[in-house]
Chains A and B, each alone.
Chain A
Amino acid sequence: MPRIDSNTSPRKEALAITCIEVEGYKSIATKQSLEIRPLTILAGANSSGKSSVMQPILLLKQTLAEGSDPGAILLDGPNVKFTSAKQLLCRCKSSVCKNGFSVGVGISSGAKVVTQYVNADAGFRIERMIHATAGKPETVLREPMTDEEVRAHVPSEYMKMFSKADLDSQWRVVRTRCFLDIAMVVDDAGIIRMSVTPIAEVASLIERIIHLPGLRGNPEPTYPVRAVSGTFPGLFQDYVASVIDKWQAKKSTLLSALKADLKTLGLTWTVEARHVSDTRVELRVGRLARAVAGGAHDVVSIGDAGLGVSQALPVLVALHAARPGQMVYIEQPEIHLHPKAQVALAGVLAKAAMRGVRVVAETHSALLLLAIQTLVATRELRPEQVKLHWFERDPDGCTQVSSADLDDFGSFTQKWPEDFGEAELAIQQKYLDAVAARHEKGSGDDTTVEAPGH
């Protein structure tokens, strides 16, 4: 990877999610804030709340993407599935918000929207929404609000514009999927929505999140054809074949970059899409990790390749398909990958982050984390591009998040509660001590087994 040129002038950054806040959701009793940087790592023990902190955002994504209005929150969608609203409420004793939850999203323009949802009618309704734009005071919206109350939040230029129009109208707060907005209700003309709140920007960023769950499905003989644009409703693995097909048809450089990454990870030397009908696409990959002379047609269906390829391919495609500012949320990017491939994957994640993609990776891989620290130490990744969040549960079962940065040498600047490497060191010590203890005791209770061939 190229080293960072400190003289490179900073480019104008694309609009991106910079902060997520969650409260009252599952094990997250008290407000937990996550700063989102180009490469954000979520780590911690199993069931510590890593997925739970991202689920409310995914609930918003699937609510926004649903064809018909599902209400304030779509509980059973492609990204998150619940059968009952109660399943996502916090049961911790210390929770102050037992009948609902709140989600906050901050974006790089400085705007922030915090929405509180309460359990009602077997689902959720919006209790209130607090929004703020950079340099301006917070505004609280709730349903219903009187015409007079709403007017206080409408900018004067809007008021002037509409007063000239002499419309028989009233200002109201209206629900727009999972958010509240200000609208002017005009008799006989319907609702005119205002862009007074930053929800359009926030909603667009949430809708464009690319989600790769930990279980990325079994490889299929063929995949349905999907429309490919910058937004990928549902799960990203459903689009992978169509994205590759599109890049192939357009002879896009992204396909070459994808093949280079597959080779870097030691998975395969090529990937191609082939239409088997108007509605189905087959994915084929190189049988070998490296290209060999005369092996141009040595490809097999992805269903016949190793799981490492089929599970890593959606991750690599997503990282290249994402545009600057777009969030790619990957649960367990390392699954089914050999340790060497896990190390190489860190470089691939870093390259996407340096391109401006917001990569949020939930991981249990000590190697991936160490490889990211190494990229910082070798100056291939800037420390300010990385944010680490450690999740753990307190005795009451509530999730607590500790955050850390990296310094120029890739070391944690704040106390990192428990390093994955510590578990390796502890088991290594236990093993060596156990063998030493056996030697110390002597051969009395020792059974020596000779290796075959001796």
Chain B
Amino acid sequence: MTRPSKRLAIDATIAQAAGANGSPEQIGVKCRDLLVAVRQVCHRMLMTDDFRREWDAHQSNFSAKWRTLMQREQGKVVWLGAEHLGRVSLDLAPIVAVPSELAIMNKDLHLVRAALATDGIVISLDDEARRCFARTAVRLHAIGAVMWLDPRMMKDPGDWLRKGAPVVDGLLLRSFQP
């Protein structure tokens, strides 16, 4: 049986945490398991210039090796160009009034844009960004359909990936109670 393959917007926070060996909540272990499962289950990783910059700046040695293995397998890293991202134009400035919130969201906007252009899934540890996007989803309905997975919020993210990474309603940005 062919396993469903999803294109995932994986944040550099995951890449960084995957190198940790003693952080709270065993987040390093969870992130490593998640990355390994992504590759084993044949899911794909999204990549844009913004993703690359973020990963290059924050990835751990473990994540760098994992990313290289992904790149060496044809089709496992999906590069999104302007032709894909151009269809997803998100201007947050008129909607987000608080400058600090706007800065947080702009920093992670590439995750949401890439997710909207593909299978709608962001995997990130950035709680603050998630809360900001969730608040904005009330007014900007398009981003409400994005599923934002923080591996700490799921008992076994590897199992979810092995089941084909189905959309979990409770993890959609519009479902979070800001």
Contact = CB atoms under 8 A, between A and B. Distances in A.
Contacts of A421: 65, 68-69, 72
B72 A436 contact: no
A411 B32 contact: no
Interface string A346-385: 0000000000000000000000001001000000000000
A359 to B, nearest CB: 21
A244 to B, nearest CB: 37
A419 B22 contact: no
Contact of A439 (B19, B21, B61, B71): B21
A439 B22 contact: yes
B73 interface: yes
Interface residues of A, number: 24
B74 A413 contact: yes
Contact of A432 (B28, B73, B74, B76): B28
A394 interface: no
Interface stretch (A68-76, A79-87, A222-230, A422-430): A422-430
B168 interface: no
B20 interface: yes
B138 interface: no
A425 B69 contact: yes
Contact of B26 (A373, A407, A428, A436): A436
Interface string B51-79: 00000000001100110110111111000
A416 B73 contact: yes
B72 A432 contact: no
Contacts of B74: 407, 409, 411-413
A60 to B, nearest CB: 35
B117 interface: no
Contact of B29 (A412, A413, A433): A433
Contacts of A415: 73
Contacts of B65: 421, 424-425, 428
A211 B74 CA distance: 33
A436 B21 contact: yes
A365 to B, nearest CB: 15
| Listed residue (A409, A422, A425, A433) with the most chain B CB atoms within 10 angstroms of its CB | A425
Interface string A387-425: 000000000000000000001011111011001011011
B36 interface: yes
A435 interface: yes
A435 B69 contact: no
A333 B29 CA distance: 37
Main SS of chain A's interface residues? helix
- Chain B interface extent, by class: 20 to 34
Nearest to B69: A421
Contacts of B73: 411-412, 415-416
Contacts of A428: 61-62, 65
Contacts of B76: 411
A427 to B, nearest CB: 10
A437 to B, nearest CB: 8
A53 to B, nearest CB: 24
Contact of A425 (B19, B26, B66, B75): B66
A166 interface: no
B36 A435 contact: no
Contacts of B66: 425
Nearest to A414: B74
A432 B71 contact: no
B21 to A, nearest CB: 4
A432 B23 CA distance: 11
Given A421-B65, A425-B66, A429-B62, A370 B26 contact: no
Contacts of A419: 69, 72
A440 interface: yes
Given A411-B74, A425-B62, A440-B26, A432 B32 contact: yes
B61 A412 contact: no
A419 B69 CA distance: 8
Interface string B6-21: 0000000000000111
Nearest to A440: B26
Contacts of B29: 432-433, 436-437
A3 B62 CA distance: 31
Given A424-B65, A428-B61, A428-B65, A435 B21 contact: yes
Contacts of A432: 19-21, 28-29, 32, 62
Nearest to B23: A436
A419 B72 CA distance: 9
Nearest to B36: A429
Contacts of A413: 74
B28 A436 contact: yes
B75 to A, nearest CB: 8
Contacts of B26: 436, 440
B46 to A, nearest CB: 16
Given A412-B74, A425-B69, A440-B26, 20 more contacts: A373-B72, A407-B74, A410-B72, A411-B73, A419-B72, A421-B65, A421-B68, A421-B72, A422-B69, A425-B62, A425-B65, A428-B65, A432-B21, A432-B29, A432-B32, A433-B21, A436-B21, A436-B22, A437-B29, A439-B21
Q: 4 smallest A-B Cβ distances: which pairs?
A: A439-B22, A435-B21, A411-B74, A432-B21
15 contacts: A370-B72, A409-B74, A411-B72, A412-B74, A413-B74, A416-B72, A422-B69, A428-B62, A429-B36, A432-B20, A432-B21, A432-B28, A432-B62, A436-B20, A439-B21
